[in-house]
Structure 1
Amino acid sequence: MGTVAIAVTEGVMHFELAAACEVFGVDRSDIADPWYEFTVCGPPGARVGGRFRLEPDHGLDRLARAGTVIVPAWADLDAAPPADLLEAVRAAHRAGARVASLCTGAFVLAAAGLLDGRRATTHWLHAAELAARYPRVRVDADVLYVDEGSVLTSAGKAAAMDLCLHLVRLDHGAAVANAVARRLVVPPHRAGGQAQFVPSPMPARRTAHPLAELLSWALRRLDRPITVEDLARQANMSSRNLARHFHATTGTTPLRWLLAQRIHRAQELLETTDDSIEAIATATGMGTATTLRRHFNRTLGVPPDAYRRTFRSGRPLPGPG
């Protein structure tokens, strides 16, 4: 599915580097074949995370030959990124690579000029600094990741994994991305627009919070109409109280969450079955093919018929923008 190259220089953070290596650098051809050709690019002996030294496969100039370039988190925000890294990232983008930063790697993309005029995110703790230092970047501190087509940025730590899985989803489809997520024991999909930080994260035990059981109940009934009043009744709450708890727990509203789950289910059915658009609309609670097409196109930028043809043919979808 193309080459993924990760840019490693002195001072990058090890967590985001490891996340990208785990998603793209492990042979998962048993899930999707061909899998990615993965390469690490950078100077010999670069220190990672302040403790580990890495021996890259190639120099930074090899980035220009990759289909996707990953820039992991940059540790010292007071120091300018190396000039050779900036030029290598620019060259890769000029050559047509999809460039993605993880966490504070957005500062590298901004310094390279790739974020000028674009919407972008980074770790919420450093978002104000990114906006102040690079005023031409439209910084959104409230999301997990931003997909601008050829340039993508993620928030910190766990959001780096979300963006990596998003890239897999774009290339291989939702079913493959979900299979990889199961291997990694991480949530299969968190939408990029979800809040970076919510005050009451979902607990591990389903019974520990009333919404945990409610979400499971709703997922089992996606083929049926579900209103906010239905959810509130099931949770033994008022609609207003449910909305407050829902946003505190998931970072979004009940109706937006429901729509995202229905679109998700439609993606998997389009990839893995020959069901008609009408049948999938029924199975996902959309009611009619017209409704499914409208929401699917608005959410993903392509109609369901084109989405199915793309993933049946093995070609990646074009990014938005």
Structure 2
Amino acid sequence: MPIKIALVLQPTLNFFQFSVPYTIFSEVLAGQGLFEFTLVAEQSCVQSGRLQVQAEQDLSYLTQADIVMIAGWTDLTQPPSPALAEALHHAYQRGAYLVSLCYGTYAFAYAGLLDGKQATTHWLAETDFRQRFPQVRLNANALYIEDERIITSAGTSASLDCCLYLIRKFYGVKTANNVARIMVTAPHREGDQAQFIQQPIIPTTRQQKWQDLLQWLQQHLAEPHHIDDLADQLHLSRRTFTRHFHKLTGTSFTQWLIQQRLQKSLELLESGTLSIEQISEQIGFNNAVSFRQHFKKQYHLSPNEWRKAFRGNE
């Protein structure tokens, strides 16, 4: 059975935010039987400038949706209507996932669904959001966050990351990577990566050397890598290398390398028959125990549990 997604439209539509999930779930994945994408609104037609979008269902559809999504929020000073707030609560209480893209986090916060939970939204709204919702544990640096079936995300680019995360969560990395290729975007960015990554101000030739280094590292994950050796390759001190690396990737070298190795492990788990020990060796972890620990921390499943969940979704 396809997973039912209900995208809740607001009276005044933010077409920029709306276009991301609509393109992915209603166009790119159309006809594949993975998701059933439905436009929901309290009124039959919503407006975005000169464009009108027709809703397919009213709020009663939320009683059967597996995922309820809100893309953006038009007026940050206005809470959702009592009818929408109640529908969101009922959907969540019966087990549905709630997903907000960008300022859609405001709708969940106003409804009290985020009280005591971690959440994110566009970094521009950090001060306002903290003042309005001190009971929410806001992380304005994250691209997206999942906390007890509520997934919140940052701006438009992060909305795309969030949608890819949903696809990967339910149908595996191979399907998510196929969609990413169609959308001409990176296959996967971890949710805790910084929203805004400051690019290092370095000459073009040096910039190309950094890109070449990152690509080489991704192709040689099984080998041990030391910062001092890599810094020497770029004729930099360890301190300068570390600073530029963080500016370029938004994370430390060690964390970046772990994420790359774990990402590679997903492909091997889903598409091959290698043992956990063999996969651990191929992606560069010292031993299978270390691999399992990092994997569990990142994905909240063991490697074997991930394999069982997604081997049928190739």
User: TM-score normalized by structure 1?
Assistant: 0.91
Deviation at 1:275, TM superposition (A): 1.0
Question: Counterparts of 2:119 and 2:205 in 1: how far apart (Å)?
Answer: 34
After superposition, give the CA deviation of every residue in 1:260-306 in whole Å (9 maximum; x if it has no partner).
00000001100011111111111101132222112111211111111
What amino acid does structure 1 have at the position aligned with 2:61?
R
**Contact residue 202 and residue 250 of structure 1 kept, 8 A:** no
Deviation at 1:209, TM superposition (A): 4.1
Question: Counterparts of 1:27 and 1:254 in 2: how far apart (Å)?
Answer: 34
**Contact residue 10 and residue 74 of structure 2 kept, 8 A:** no
**Contact residue 79 and residue 111 of structure 2 kept, 8 A:** no
**CA separation of 1:104/1:220 partners in 2, compared to 1, >3 Å: closer, same or farther?**
same
Deviation at 1:78, TM superposition (A): 2.5
Q: Which residue number in structure 1 is paired with residue 44 of structure 2?
A: 44
Q: Which residue number in structure 2 is paired with residue 319 of structure 1?
A: none
**CA separation of 1:161/1:118 partners in 2, compared to 1, >3 Å: closer, same or farther?**
same
Q: Please show how residues 111-122 of structure 1 align to structure 2 within 5 Å.
A: 111-122=110-121
Q: Please show how residues 177-216 of structure 1 align to structure 2 within 5 Å.
A: 177-200=176-199, 208-216=207-215
DSSP-derived class of the 1:26 partner:
helix
Question: Counterparts of 1:86 and 1:309 in 2: how far apart (Å)?
Answer: 36
Question: Counterparts of 1:78 and 1:221 in 2: how far apart (Å)?
Answer: 50
Question: Counterparts of 1:284 and 1:21 in 2: how far apart (Å)?
Answer: 35
Question: Counterparts of 1:266 and 1:279 in 2: how far apart (Å)?
Answer: 10
**CA separation of 1:286/1:69 partners in 2, compared to 1, >3 Å: closer, same or farther?**
same
**Contact residue 28 and residue 179 of structure 2 kept, 8 A:** no
After superposition, give the CA deviation of every residue in 1:189-214 in whole Å (9 maximum; x if it has no partner).
111111111221899x9974432121
Question: Counterparts of 1:113 and 1:79 in 2: how far apart (Å)?
Answer: 14
Q: Which residue number in structure 1 is paired with residue 18 of structure 2?
A: 17
Q: Which residue number in structure 2 is paired with residue 284 of structure 1?
A: 283
Bigger mean CA offset, 259-268 vs 3-12: 3-12
Deviation at 1:110, TM superposition (A): 0.4
Question: Counterparts of 1:272 and 1:45 in 2: how far apart (Å)?
Answer: 44
**Contact residue 3 and residue 67 of structure 1 kept, 8 A:** yes
Name the % identity.
36
Q: Please show how residues 48-59 of structure 1 align to structure 2 within 5 Å.
A: 48=48, 50-59=49-58
User: TM-score normalized by structure 2?
Assistant: 0.93
Question: Counterparts of 2:94 and 2:27 in 1: how far apart (Å)?
Answer: 26
Question: Counterparts of 1:135 and 1:241 in 2: how far apart (Å)?
Answer: 38
Q: Which residue number in structure 1 is paired with residue 309 of structure 2?
A: 310
DSSP-derived class of the 2:210 partner:
helix
Unaligned stretches of 5+ residues in structure 1 = 316-321
DSSP-derived class of the 1:3 partner:
strand
Question: Counterparts of 1:183 and 1:89 in 2: how far apart (Å)?
Answer: 32
Question: Counterparts of 2:218 and 2:237 in 1: how far apart (Å)?
Answer: 20
Q: RMSD across aligned C-alpha pairs, in angstroms?
A: 2.1
Deviation at 1:67, TM superposition (A): 0.5
Question: Counterparts of 2:244 and 2:36 in 1: how far apart (Å)?
Answer: 43
Question: Counterparts of 1:128 and 1:12 in 2: how far apart (Å)?
Answer: 24
Bigger mean CA offset, 215-224 vs 289-298: 289-298
Question: Counterparts of 1:301 and 1:80 in 2: how far apart (Å)?
Answer: 33
**Contact residue 10 and residue 73 of structure 2 kept, 8 A:** no
Q: Which residue number in structure 2 is paired with residue 126 of structure 1?
A: 125
Q: Please show how residues 227-238 of structure 1 align to structure 2 within 5 Å.
A: 227-238=226-237
